[in-house]
Amino acid sequence: GQQVMQIPQYQHVQEGEDFTTYCNSSTTLSNIQWYKQRPGGHPVFLIQLVKSGEVKKQKRLTFQFGEAKKNSSLHITATQTTDVGTYFCAGPVYRGSTLGRLYFGRGTQLTVWP
Amino acid sequence: DTAVSQTPKYLVTQMGNDKSIKCEQNLGHDTMYWYKQDSKKFLKIMFSYNNKELIINETVPNRFSPKSPDKAHLNLHINSLELGDSAVYFCASSRGLASTGELFFGEGSRLTVL
Q: B43 to chain A: which residues are within 8 Å by CB?
A: 43, 88, 104, 107
CB contact under 8 A, B99 and A99: yes
CA dist B49 and A40 (Å) reads 26
CA dist A64 and A56 (Å) reads 7
Reply yes or no on whether the pLDDT at A100 is more than 90: no
Closest CA to B40 of A88, A44, A93: A88
Q: Which SS3 state, helix, strand or coil, does residue B72 take?
A: coil
Report pLDDT digits (tens) over B54-92: 888 887 899 999 999 999 999 999 999 999 999 999 999
Judge contact between A85 and A21, C-beta under 8 A: no
Reply yes or no on whether the pLDDT at A3 is more than 60: yes
Nearest neighbour of A106 by CB, restricted to B42, B98, B100: B42
CB contact under 8 A, B98 and A104: no
CA dist A3 and A14 (Å) reads 31
**Torsion of the alpha carbons at B24, B25, B29 and B33, rounded to the nearest 10:** -50
